[in-house]
Amino acid sequence: MNSPYLISRERLVAASPESVFDLLARPAMHSVIDGSGTVRDAQPNGPARLAPGAKFGMDMKMGVPYKILNTVTEFDEGRRIAWRHAGGHVWRYLLQAQDGGTLVTEQWDARHLRHRVMYRVTGVTRRHPASLEQTLEKLADHFSTK
């Protein structure tokens, strides 16, 4: 399933799919679980909770601060949520109930981008596996402290 342009990691999280989905659907929580170190904060005036087609802005920093506008592209309450921004790649979370919690799969998907080779040339595809693993660890830690 993994390719240079579809990077996927999974982890069992000790929480219900509904609880995990609710956290993922709240942009204000994205900086809490971000493992890449780039997500700073949700921009004001965006939705408190995401819905199909919702647009939400995030304050980011990768060397320099910048802002990004995302659009929810996949939304199946309690099971699946994904968004993309102007760069075109998709961040996706798939949730599956398991004994002991929820199997959470996080994916970074750039398979359908025209200029996706630039992600390899600039090293983005090499950095993402560790970032996804860190995000899933932070997500699991968030629910283990409840």
**Mean local confidence (pLDDT), 59-79:** 95
Give 73-88 pLDDT, tens digit per residue: 999 999 999 999 887 8
Q: Which of 67, 74, 71, 22 has the alpha carbon at shortest distance from 48?
A: 22
50 pLDDT tier (thresholds 50, 70, 90): very high
Look up the pTM and report it. Answer: 0.91
DSSP run (H or E) holding 114 = none
Residues in the chain: 146
Amino acid type, 41: D
Residues 104, 52, 24, 65, Cα dihedral to 10°: 120
Cβ contact 135:35 at 8 Å: yes
The letter for the amino acid at 131 is: S
Maximum average pLDDT range among 59-63, 76-80, 142-146 = 76-80
Of the two residues 87 and 140, the one the predictor is more confident about is 140
- Mean pLDDT across the stretch 32-40? 92
pLDDT 10s digits, 101-135: 999 999 989 888 767 666 666 656 567 788 999 99
